[in-house]
Amino acid sequence: MNLKILLLPGDGIGTEVTAAAVEVLKAVGKKFGHTLELSEGLLGGIAIHKTGTPFPKETEELCQKADATLMGAVGLPEFDAAPPSQRPEAGLLGMRRVLDVFANLRPVRTWPALVDSSPLKNHVVEGTDMIIVRELTGGLYYGQPRGMDENHGFNTMSYTRKEVERVTHTAFKLARNRRKRVTSVDKSNVLEVSQFWRKIVIEVAKNYPEIQLEHMLVDNAAMQMVLNPRQFDVMLTENTFGDILSDVGGILAGSIGMLPSASLGEKKGLYEPVHGSAPDIAGQNKANPLGAIGSVAAMLEYTFGLMKEANAVNDAIGKVLESGKVTADLRPKGKPATTTEVGQAVSAAL
């Protein structure tokens, strides 16, 4: 198979983890006989520096031509005081809108080798295996009106029936092949938009009688994730809540650097590690690339339907974790491995 993939390394450690992920992707191509058609574009802070905009037209065109996009990270401290539309993150939001990737899948798994890496007690995190399905193109991040003046700042959390229905179908279809349980997270005790969300989720659930549906308020969900994460199978939630809760998942996995993600639409897929650009360690070859490499596994599964290849990548990640050849964030017993060394170890394990 010919895999047509756009690479958007972005800012900070994004370039380093993407490079490691590409090496693994090349190893997959070699092992399983696939050809790679790779292109590269600009997104985020580096795009602002070179083109004046966080999401250049050329990058938009490359996204449309590729079957899938693999992204590193965006964000640089120098843009923290810039208006929202002129920050690196605006490029990511723009790309999500253009690709219409409405469902963000964030697997949270506690690997046996990383039980001691979590700050939570071993008996709490052992056996955690959940996936957060976050709606990605609606809610506060996109709602209108929005704005700010000297005395007032405001955003709008808004959802349409179509937006809730399509991401809910995604969550229930995933649950079919897992433990058949969906937890829908909202704030329906105080927010009308959450009451609407819950109403639509209940309606969609009638199409999946084999799936158990429960509802949970977002503050309780955050607490339950650190008290008893094994209770969750598929967690469904809106954009802002999903953004926050998936970072809580980093505690369960041992490091946010372990978390991959897949953003899916009707036709296109965008894949990226959950972590940010981490400018404090950029250029030091010490970032954890396993989130990016796990995103490659997700790409192989969801965009290209290559389950054998995806499983091989995840198995290789497991072998590397067992070997102890990991970066400093995972608290190795010996000398920490570099970003490059971890990428090479996963490729070798394939």
What kind of fold does domain 1-101+257-350 have according to CATH?
Answer: Isopropylmalate Dehydrogenase (3.40.718)
84: confidence class by pLDDT, cuts 50, 70, 90: confident
Region 315-333 average pLDDT: 94
What one-letter code names the amino acid at 239?
Answer: N
Report which of 113, 72, 123, 127 is spatially closest to residue 330, judged by C-alpha positions. Answer: 113
Whether 247 is catalytic: yes
Neighbour count for residue 115 (Cβ, 10 Å): 18
Whether 243 is catalytic: yes
Model confidence at 79: pLDDT above 90:
yes
Which one of the listed residues 50, 199, 219, 267 is annotated catalytic?
A: 219
Which CATH superfamily hosts domain 119-253?
Isopropylmalate Dehydrogenase (3.40.718.10)
* Cα–Cα distance, 111 to 318 (Å, whole number): 7
Region 68-82 average pLDDT: 95
Residue scoring higher pLDDT (71 or 84): 71
Average pLDDT, the chain: 96
At residue 195, the pLDDT reads 98
- pLDDT tens, residue by residue, 100-126: 899 999 999 999 999 988 899 999 999
Cβ atoms 229, 130 nearer than 8 A = yes
Region 182-205 average pLDDT: 98
Model confidence at 180: pLDDT above 90:
yes
Report which of 197, 175, 178 is spatially closest to residue 186, judged by C-alpha positions. Answer: 197
Region 23-27 average pLDDT: 98
Which one of the listed residues 67, 100, 129, 247 is annotated catalytic?
A: 247
Share of the chain above pLDDT 90, in %: 92
* Cα–Cα distance, 219 to 235 (Å, whole number): 14
Region 46-70 average pLDDT: 96
Residue 103 β-bridge partners: 135, 264
Whether 302 is catalytic: no
* Cα–Cα distance, 49 to 47 (Å, whole number): 5
Share of the chain above pLDDT 70, in %: 100
What one-letter code names the amino acid at 153?
Answer: G
- pLDDT tens, residue by residue, 133-168: 999 999 999 999 999 999 999 999 999 999 999 999
At residue 267, the pLDDT reads 86
Which one of the listed residues 141, 159, 208, 302 is annotated catalytic?
A: 141
Residue 269 β-bridge partners: 68, 264
The two three-digit tokens of residue 123, written as one number: 């008996």
At residue 347, the pLDDT reads 98
At residue 266, the pLDDT reads 87
- Which part of the chain is CATH 3.40.718.10? 1-101+257-350, 119-253
Cβ atoms 120, 252 nearer than 8 A = yes
- pLDDT tens, residue by residue, 248-279: 998 999 899 999 999 999 889 999 999 999 99
Region 9-23 average pLDDT: 98
Whether 280 is catalytic: no
What one-letter code names the amino acid at 304?
Answer: F
Region 41-56 average pLDDT: 97
Region 74-99 average pLDDT: 92
Cβ atoms 197, 213 nearer than 8 A = no
User: What is the torsional sign of CA 194, 200, 203, 204?
Assistant: negative
Region 21-25 average pLDDT: 98
Model confidence at 333: pLDDT above 90:
no
Q: What is the 3-state secondary structure (H, E, C) of the chain?
A: CEEEEEEEEECCCHHHHHHHHHHHHHHHHHHHCCEEEEEECCCCHHHHHHHCCCCCHHHHHHHHHCCEEEEEECCCHHHCCCCHHHCHHHHHHHHHHHHCCCEEEEEEECCHHHHHHCCCCHHHHCCCEEEEEEECCCHHHCCCCCEECCCCEECCCCCCHHHHHHHHHHHHHHHHCCCCEEEEEECCCCCHHHHHHHHHHHHHHCCCCCCEEEEEEHHHHHHHHHHCHHHCCEEEECHHHHHHHHHHHHHHHCCHHHCCCEEECCCCEEECCCCCCCCCCCCCCCCCCHHHHHHHHHHHHHCCCCHHHHHHHHHHHHHHHHHCCCCHHHCCCCCCCCHHHHHHHHHHHC
Which one of the listed residues 208, 243, 286, 302 is annotated catalytic?
A: 243
pTM: 0.89
The two three-digit tokens of residue 176, written as one number: 């079919």
Cβ atoms 175, 182 nearer than 8 A = yes
Whether 100 is catalytic: no
Which one of the listed residues 159, 186, 187, 302 is annotated catalytic?
A: 187
